[in-house]
Amino acid sequence: MYAKKNLQNNITFIFLFILAILFLVPIFIVLMNSFKGRFFISDAPFALPNSQTFVGLKNYTVGLAKTGFIQAFFYSLFITVFSVGTIVLFTSMTAWCITRVKSKVSSIIYYVLIFSMIVPFQMVMFTMSKAANVLRLDNPIGIIVLYLGFGAGLSVFIFSGFVKSIPHEIEEAATIDGCNPIQTFFLIVFPILQPIYITVAILNTMWIWNDYLLPYLVIGSNYRTIPIAIQYLQGGYGSKDMGAMMAMLVLAIIPIVIFYLALQKYIIQGVVAGAVKG
């Protein structure tokens, strides 16, 4: 019995091990090709670089110059950090308020926000980018307002779910002690919600960092984020530089891997917590 179980476990382990390698191989193939000359990639992507095809870091220098990748990295970083910060602050305030104050307005706000989660972006992409244009939101600061608007649905939804589970006696005690709602929120509720802030922040970071279409339509012609820079390399027909493409894909993946390995525990917990409340 024990031996049989052991054998079974070993087979499972080997199976998972092979699968894990299959999951990682695509990234290694891109890494490998990023060191090969641009004309040696498409024809034989699975061949290791050799003395004839190896070009060192040339793809990286060419790619960086072509795409303005470093600038793109900082635009992406700026937009993601400040949008996520804005979203978690304002949507937690909204979620707490509409969950605690039971009124018609509160439930209208809640259901309209939930509805927005289902609607595909294409429904509003044209009118939204025109509105952004008119209101001068077509820059890396203005786009934060748009992300707050689009992120509101999911974030309010998750925060509301957790606010419901906090006993409101604590807040009532604070009110009796003379706290106004703003003090109650920031002194009492805010600290209790801490773990949920991490969840909401992580879900929004994953979305905004990788988002392509919204920034492309709103700020794409003047400011390139990382996904826009990558798509830009695709360029016109026939002129595509595969070497630069491989190098930029590697540079796009590196920050994500670092972010993931550093915060892995929180990311996985965040995904689970977000899903369970959903």
Partner 1 sequence: MEKMPKKYYAFFTLPTMIAFAIAFFIPFLLGIYLSFTKFRTVTNSQWVGLENYIHAFTDNNDFLNATIFTVKFAIVSVVLINLFAFSLALLLTRALRGTNIFRTVFFMPNLIGGIVLGYIWLLIINGILINFGVDITYSAKFGFWGLVVVTNWQMIGYMMVIYIAAIQSISTEQLEAAQIDGANSWQILKNITVPLVMPAFTICTFLTVSNSFKLFDQNLALTNGAPGRASSMLALDIFHTFYGTFGYEGVGQAKAVMFTIFVAIVVLLQLRISRSREVEI
**Residues near 215 by Cβ (< 8 Å), separated by ≥ 6?**
79, 143, 223, 225, 227, 228
Closest separation between CB of residue 139 and partner 1, Å?
Answer: 14
Buried b vs exposed e over 201-218: b needs ≥16 C-beta within 10 Å?
Answer: bbbbbbbbbebeebbbbb
The token pair at 250 is 């590697």
Which residues in the 50-79 window bind partner 1 by CB under 8 A?
none
**Residue 119 interacts with partner 1 (CB under 8 A): yes or no:** yes
* Of positions 39, 74, 111, 121, contacts partner 1 by CB under 8 A: 121
User: Least distance from C-beta 122 to partner 1, angstroms?
Assistant: 4
| Of 29 and 57, CB closest to partner 1 | 29
Sites for partner 1 among residues 168-207 (CB under 8 A): 168, 171-172, 175, 180-182, 185, 206
Question: Applying CB under 8 A, which of residues 67, 94, 160, 204 lies at the interface with partner 1?
Answer: 94
Tell the smallest beta-carbon distance from residue 34 to partner 1 (Å): 11
- φ, ψ at 179 (rounded to 5°): -80, 140
**What is the per-residue DSSP string for 143-210?**
HHHHHHHHHHHHHHHHHHHHHHTS-THHHHHHHHTT--HHHIIIIIIHHHHHHHHHHHHHHHHHHHHH
Q: In whole angstroms, what is the distance from residue 253 CA to residue 78 CA?
A: 18
Of 97 and 192, which CB lies nearer to partner 1 in the complex structure? 97
In the chain, what is the straight-line distance between the N-terminal and C-terminal CA atoms, in Å?
42
Give residues 205-244 in contact with partner 1 (rule: CB under 8 A): 206, 209-213, 226-227, 230-231, 234, 242
Q: Which of residues 129-148 bind partner 1 (CB under 8 A)?
A: 130-132, 135, 137, 145-148
Residue of 4, 102, 104, 136 that binds partner 1 (CB under 8 A):
102
Q: Is 46 among the residues that bind partner 1 (CB under 8 A)?
A: yes
